[in-house]
């Protein structure tokens, strides 16, 4: 199948102007003016009208509990697995799955199987090995082995620190995992990133900073997430980014589950830019299907919410429309920045030879109109396209 998107405003994420986009199979064949294709051998060419729309790279969500999460309030508070359409209707064409608090009943083999199932349905998937805890529970018996032997494993996570639910790792334990992830990633040609869950404890990111200070492991080996959980943690995140690290904010669709001190993504991104933080040094993830447990001052569970994939674009749209952050900068947080940080080849940009992952947005409202993953239309007119396969 050959597709041509005509007369669309193209953001690579940098603005290119009004262009045509040629899609050949699962790749972008070209981006230029006046692209046409005529074949005499019956090859089907599909024309998509891009007038009044913006073309952007398909979104990359670097932190999703694709198997579900939760359980902090007992078995009845386990959250459900994600569905393909939860992701595609949110514009997400690449997802990284992880385990959280429960690394026992949610295990690595199940996580890998879920990721492979979503890939078979049409999107690109990767996973982290492990969960909140150290020692890391792996598939092969070791972090380096997982990274080198299993194609979908690109890092370790989400390792919890500064949280009453973490395994309270020592500096030596934490540094060893970081070292194994770095070397395993180097040998496998992967990022070997450590996806770090940050709780609201007073030590914040101290464990990461001590590891960087006392070892040769660079600050770029870590991706601390939930950095906008509180104002004091966000301030620490700003300093982390000043040192060259990348920080990840977590989106939300439900202000009811925001802590009083939590920083909304739009205000957080605006603050980062005002502080002179590079527009390449922050990302946004949804924490979709993860539990949003509420604890009282005694750390006792009192309620729960569930993260949604839809918050990813909703937060970025707020950055653009409410905080007046330039479009090209805002969308980097869910396109080119995570692609670079996680070393996802041929992802995160609209360029010839890259995977044909893209979203068409309505120019007037910035609503998601069309989603194409690896050259296949997954969402049209804002609604999922049904292919007759089972959705897991």
Catalytic-residue membership of 287:
yes
Query: Does residue 249 contact residue 28 with C-beta atoms inside 8 Å?
Result: no
Q: Measured between alpha carbons, how far apart are the two ends of the chain, in Å?
A: 26
Contacts of 61 by beta carbon, 8 Å cutoff, 6+ apart: 87, 90, 92, 94, 95, 96, 285, 286, 288, 309, 312, 334
Cβ-contact 220, 244 below 8 angstroms? yes
Q: Using CA atoms, how far apart are residues 287 and 226, in angstroms rounded to an integer?
A: 9
d(CA 117, CA 390): 10
Q: How far is CA 144 from the centre of its chain?
A: 23
Helix 265-274 × helix 311-321 angle, to 10°: 50
Place of tokens 């395993």: 184
What SS3 state is found at 23?
strand
Both tokens of residue 387?
Answer: 């292919």
SS3 295: strand
Q: Map residue 361 onto helix, strand or coil.
A: strand
367: left (phi over 0), alpha (psi -120 to 50) or beta: beta
**Other residues' Cβ atoms within 10 Å of the Cβ of residue 104:** 11
Catalytic annotation, pick one of 287, 318, 355, 369: 287
Query: Residue 31 corresponds to which tokens in the numbers above?
Result: 């981006």
Q: Per residue in 341-370, is it b (16+ CB within 10 Å) or e — as a string?
A: bbebebbbbbeeebbbbbbbbeeeebebbb
Residue 323 CA to residue 60 CA, distance in Å, equals 22
Active site residues: 287
């Amino acid at each position: 199948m050959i597709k041509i998107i005509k007369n669309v405003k193209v953001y690579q994420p940098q603005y290119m102007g009004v262009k045509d986009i040629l899609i050949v199979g699962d790749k972008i064949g070209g981006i230029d003016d006046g692209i046409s294709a005529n074949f005499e051998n019956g090859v089907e060419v599909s024309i998509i009208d891009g007038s009044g729309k913006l073309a952007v790279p398909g979104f990359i969500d670097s932190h999703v509990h694709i198997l579900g999460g939760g359980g902090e309030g007992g078995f009845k508070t386990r959250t459900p697995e994600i569905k393909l359409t939860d992701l595609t209707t949110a514009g997400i064409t690449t997802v990284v799955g992880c385990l959280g608090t429960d690394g026992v009943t949610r295990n690595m083999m199940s996580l890998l199987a879920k990721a492979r199932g979503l890939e078979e349905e049409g999107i690109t998937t990767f996973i982290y090995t492990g969960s909140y805890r150290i020692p890391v529970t792996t598939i092969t018996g070791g972090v380096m082995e997982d990274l080198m032997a299993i194609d979908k494993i690109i890092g370790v996570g989400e390792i919890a620190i500064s949280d009453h639910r973490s395994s309270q790792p020592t500096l030596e334990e934490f540094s060893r995992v970081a070292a194994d992830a770095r070397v395993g990633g180097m040998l496998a040609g992967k990022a070997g990133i450590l996806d770090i869950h940050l709780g609201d404890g007073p030590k914040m990111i101290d464990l990461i900073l001590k590891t960087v200070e006392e070892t040769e492991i660079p600050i770029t080996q870590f991706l601390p997430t939930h950095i906008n959980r509180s104002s004091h943690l966000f301030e620490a995140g700003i300093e982390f980014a000043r040192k060259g690290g990348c920080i990840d904010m977590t989106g939300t669709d439900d202000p009811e589950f925001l802590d009083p001190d939590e920083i909304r993504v739009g205000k957080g991104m605006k603050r980062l830019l005002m502080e002179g933080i590079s527009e390449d040094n922050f990302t946004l993830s949804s924490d979709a299907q993860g539990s949003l447990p509420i604890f009282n001052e005694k750390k006792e569970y009192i309620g729960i919410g569930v993260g949604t994939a839809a918050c990813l674009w909703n937060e970025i749209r707020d950055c653009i429309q409410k905080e007046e952050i330039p479009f090209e900068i805002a969308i980097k947080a869910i396109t080119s920045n995570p692609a670079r940080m996680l070393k996802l080849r041929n992802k995160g940009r609209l360029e010839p030879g890259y995977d044909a992952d893209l979203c068409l947005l309505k120019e007037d409202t910035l609503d998601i109109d069309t989603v194409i993953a690896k050259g296949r239309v997954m969402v049209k007119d804002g609604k999922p396209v049904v292919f007759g396969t089972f959705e897991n």
